[in-house]
């Protein structure tokens, strides 16, 4: 559970000081708090998503990817409760009556947030306080600090949001049916079944692993994505992770040793003349 008390007290102290410099520093502390809120969600979700499958890096975009790929409720407010008594033996999927007959104890509340709103505050704080304006002509003076009234207002708005989120007592990485598979590197990869799309490419959650898989909905299986290449010397087929090839830039070369004869096999990514598409 992320604790934002220190951020909150620092920001409050800086607001009280109320100098141009302290307001600027308060804006920076607000941005750091927003980043911690969003990245903590990501940290908890890392069993379900690889670093390589995140394509955009602003805190807002990260949370939105998590909502789409890991848990639709990752930024929502809800209370989680457990039943006092275990379910009758042998019942796997309880009926509505069985659910209703139980007594529940709340175990915690996740306080949600609107990632777009946090993203706007994050950008607004930087624009007002953390960048100097670009002069439009020779006579424009470049101020040392941004407009203090505007910065104070933005910091106060952000502080309110941070305090609300800090009231949460639980952070969940989601519920719902899971599917899992083991990668050749040994890592167990888990995904929420309800959020998988046919043909979706998922990278192994081990950040040092280059393997990626394509989800095949009809068979509920993950097919390894590889690039096949035949050794010119001994004819043995090599099967290298497709992501290694996809990461190559134009004319960049990589090589590996053939498992059959030890020959070095080189691969390079290069544009070539193509046939008219059929």
Q: Which run of H or of E encompasses 239?
A: strand 237-241
**Structural contact between residues 152 and 159, judged by C-beta atoms closer than 8 angstroms:** no
Nearest to Zn ion of 83, 187 (CB atom): 187
- Nearest Cα to 239, choosing from 260, 270, 269? 260
Structural tokens at position 213 = 């898989």
**Is 206 one of the binding residues for Zn ion (CB under 5 A)?**
yes
Q: Which stretch binds Zn ion (CB under 5 A): 7-15, 49-57, 111-119, 236-244?
A: 236-244
- Say which residue the tokens 């979706």 belong to: 200
Among 33, 71, 211, 215, binds Zn ion (CB under 5 A): 211
Which CB atom, from 126 or from 185, has the smaller least distance to Zn ion? 185
Residues 23 to 62: which contact Zn ion by CB under 5 A?
none
Six-digit token pair at 159? 């502080």
Would you say 54 or 111 has its CB closer to Zn ion? 54
Residue nearer to Zn ion on the CB measure, 99 or 207: 207
Between 232 and 272, CB nearer to Zn ion: 232
| Element holding 81 (H helix, E strand) | strand 78-83
Burial class (CB in 10 A: 0-12, 13-18, 19+), 112: middle
As measured in angstroms, the least distance from the Cβ of 247 to Zn ion is 15
Residues in the chain: 278
Q: Are 259 and 234 a contacting pair, CB within 8 Å?
A: no
CA angle 54, 58, 63 (to 5 degrees): 60
Among 185, 238, 244, 245, contact with Zn ion (rule: CB under 5 A): 185
Smallest distance, Zn ion to C-beta of residue 229, A: 10
Q: For residues 196 and 225, is the Cβ–Cβ distance under 8 A?
A: no
> What CA dihedral angle connects 113, 59, 22 and 17, to 10 degrees?
10
204 binds Zn ion (CB under 5 A): yes
Residue span 247-276 as binding mask against Zn ion, x where in contact by CB under 5 A, dash where not: -----------x-xx-x-------------
Quick one: which segment of 35-43, 88-96, 152-160, 183-191 binds Zn ion (CB under 5 A)? 183-191
User: Could you say which of 72, 187, 200, 226 contacts Zn ion (CB under 5 A)?
Assistant: 187
Q: Please, which residue, 8 or 265, has the CB nearer to Zn ion? A: 265
Please classify residue 146 by burial: count the beta carbons closer than 10 Å to its beta carbon, then call 0-12 exposed, 13-18 middle and 19+ buried: buried
User: In angstroms, what is the minimal distance from the CB of 257 to Zn ion?
Assistant: 9
Q: In whole angstroms, how close is the CB of 147 to Zn ion at the nearest point?
A: 50
H-helix or E-strand spanning residue 99: helix 96-101
Q: For residues 60 and 38, give the distance between their C-alpha atoms in angstroms, rounded to a whole number.
A: 7
Residues 112-151 binding Zn ion (CB under 5 A) are none
Residues that bind Zn ion (CB under 5 A): 183, 185, 187, 204, 206, 209, 211, 231, 233-234, 236, 258, 260-261, 263
């Amino acid at each position: 559970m992320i604790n934002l008390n220190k951020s909150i007290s620092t920001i409050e102290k800086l607001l009280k000081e109320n100098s141009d410099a302290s307001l600027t520093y308060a804006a920076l502390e607000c941005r750091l708090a927003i980043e911690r809120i969003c990245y903590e969600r990501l940290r908890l979700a890392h069993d379900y998503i690889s670093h390589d499958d995140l394509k955009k890096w602003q805190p807002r975009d990260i949370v939105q990817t998590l909502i789409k790929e890991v848990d639709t409720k990752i930024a929502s407010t809800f209370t989680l409760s457990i039943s006092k008594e275990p379910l009758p033996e042998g019942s796997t999927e309880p009926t509505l009556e069985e659910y209703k007959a139980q007594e529940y104890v709340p175990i915690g509340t996740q306080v949600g947030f609107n990632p777009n709103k946090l993203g706007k505050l994050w950008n607004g704080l930087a624009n007002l306080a953390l960048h100097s304006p670009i002069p439009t002509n020779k006579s424009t003076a470049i101020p040392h600090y941004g407009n203090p009234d505007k910065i104070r207002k933005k910091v106060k708005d952000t502080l309110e949001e941070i305090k609300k989120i800090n009231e949460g007592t639980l952070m969940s990485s989601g519920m719902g049916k899971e599917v899992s598979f083991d990668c050749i590197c040994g890592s167990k990869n888990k995904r929420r079944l309800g959020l998988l799309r046919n043909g979706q490419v998922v990278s192994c959650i081990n950040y040092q692993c280059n393997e990626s898989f394509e989800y095949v909905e009809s068979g509920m299986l993950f097919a390894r994505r590889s690039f096949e290449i035949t050794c010119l010397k001994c004819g043995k087929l090599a099967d290298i992770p497709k992501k290694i090839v996809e990461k190559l830039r134009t004319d960049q070369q990589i090589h590996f040793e053939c498992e059959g004869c030890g020959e070095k096999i080189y691969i390079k990514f290069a544009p070539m003349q193509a046939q008219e598409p059929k």
